[in-house]
Amino acid sequence: MPALLPAMAAGYGVTAPTMGWVISAYLLAYGALQLSCGPLAERFGEGTVILGGLGLMSVSMLGSAAAPSVETLLATRVATALGAAGIGPLGVALVARFVPASQRATALSRYMSVSLLGMLFAVALGGAVAALIGWRWVMLVFGILCAVALLAMALVLRSMQATGRKRRTLGSIGCYALLLRTAGAVPLFAMIGAEGFLVNGVFSFLADYLKVSLGASDIGSVLILSLFAVTAVIGGPMTTRLWSTYPLSKSAAMAAATTTAACLAPVIAPSLASAAVASSLLGLAFIFGQNAFLSAACRVSDRLRSTSVSMVALCFMAGGAAGVQTASLLLSNWSYRGLFGTWSAISMLTVLLCMKLLRGTRSETDKATAEQ
C-alpha cells in the first residue's frame, strides 16, 4: 500500500496525507479484528480461520480494483484488513503449535523471512504494474493471487489436519483478560504498539517523500522501498542469535535505536541515498523488534498462544494507525524533514522505555510458562 500511495492520491485527486486515512483504516481494522481472531482460533483451529481470511481478502481486493471513490476504497481496504487479520498472526501460532519449543526460534525466523520475501515480491510487482498500467491492476492481480493461495492453503492444511479442530475456550474477554494478567504481558504489548507507531508512521509516507521531495521515478521509488524487505530478510537469521544472547529489553531497544538511525539519515543529508539507507534500516528495525516480540508472545502461554500472537498484531496495527495519523498531522503543518526529526526523537525515547519497562520480562514469561 505505501508504494501505491502517490498513484492512488493522484488518481482520486487528493493529497498523500488525505490518503493516509485509508492506510490508518486498514491498520485499525486489522488490529481490531485480533480481538476475535485469537479466541476463534482457540475454538476452531488456526487453519479454519486462515482459510476464511484468504477468501475475504480475495473478494475485497477485487472490490478495491473497481472502487470509484476514496470512500469506497476505504471500505474495501477495511474488508481486506479483516481478511488479512486472520492470516499472518495465526500462521505464527500454527508454526508454534507444530514445531517443538527447542526449534521454534529458528522456525519463526524462517516464517518471517518467507513472509518478507512475499512482501518484497508484492512491492516489486505492485510498483512495476502500477507504473505501467495503474494501481487498480495491482489490486486485481493480488485478488486473483489470494484465490490461488486459498486453494493451495486448503490442500496444505488438509494434509496437516489443522482445520476444524474444536477446543474449549474462555471467550474473547476471558482469553484476553487471562493473557493480560500474565507476568510481563502489559509492558510487552505496550512496546509492540510503540514499534508499530514508529515503523508504520514513517514508512507509510516514504514513497511520497521520494516522489514529491526528491523527485524519484516510480521504478526508483519501488527499488528503494524494496530495501525494507531485503534487509529484513537478511536480518531475519540474526534475530535467532539475538533471542538466545540478549534479554528482550535489549533486543527491543536495539530495534528502536535502529529506527532512530533510519530517521536521522534523511535529516542529516536529504537525498535518494539517505532515503535508501532509511528504508534499509527500517527493515532491520522491523525484523529485530517483530521477531523478538513474537518469540516472547509465544512463550507467554501455551494455552492462549493464538490469542497472544493476535494481541501482537492488534497492538502493532493500532500503534501503526496512530503513527500514520500523527505523521499525517505533522506533514499537513510541517515538512518531511520535521517529520523525520520528530520521529528520531520519539524513537530515542522508546529505546529508554524498552530498557526500563521490559527489564526482566523474558525471565518472568519463561517462569510463567514453566509453571503451567
- The pLDDT profile of the chain, 372 residues, written as one tens digit per residue, is 666 777 788 888 888 777 777 877 887 888 778 778 777 877 777 888 889 889 999 999 999 989 999 889 999 999 998 888 878 778 877 777 777 766 766 777 677 777 767 776 776 677 677 767 888 888 888 899 889 989 988 888 777 665 545 555 556 677 777 777 877 788 888 889 999 999 988 888 888 889 888 988 877 887 888 888 888 878 777 766 665 567 778 888 888 999 999 999 999 999 999 999 999 999 888 888 887 787 778 777 666 777 788 888 888 888 988 998 899 888 888 888 899 999 999 999 999 988 888 876 543 334 433 443
* Alpha-carbon span 337 to 318, nearest angstrom: 25
Q: What distances in angstroms separate CA 328 from CA 127, 170, 263, 272, 355, one per listed residue?
A: 22, 39, 16, 22, 29
100: phi then psi, degrees, rounded to nearest 5: -60, 150
pLDDT at residue 345, as a whole number? 94
Using CB atoms within 10 A of its CB, is residue 333 exposed (0-12), middle (13-18) or buried (19+)? exposed
Amino acid 305: pLDDT: 74
For the question of whether the overall pTM of this predicted structure is more than 0.75, the answer is no
Give the three-class secondary structure for 219.
helix
- Report all structural domains of the chain as residue ranges with CATH numbers, in order of start: 2-163+171-362 (1.20.1250.20)
Hey, how many other C-beta atoms are within 10 angstroms of the C-beta on 86?
A: 30
Q: Supply the pLDDT for residue 366.
A: 41
Backbone angles phi, psi at 303, to 5 degrees: -70, -35
pLDDT at 368: 38
**What would the grid cell of residue 31 be?**
488490529
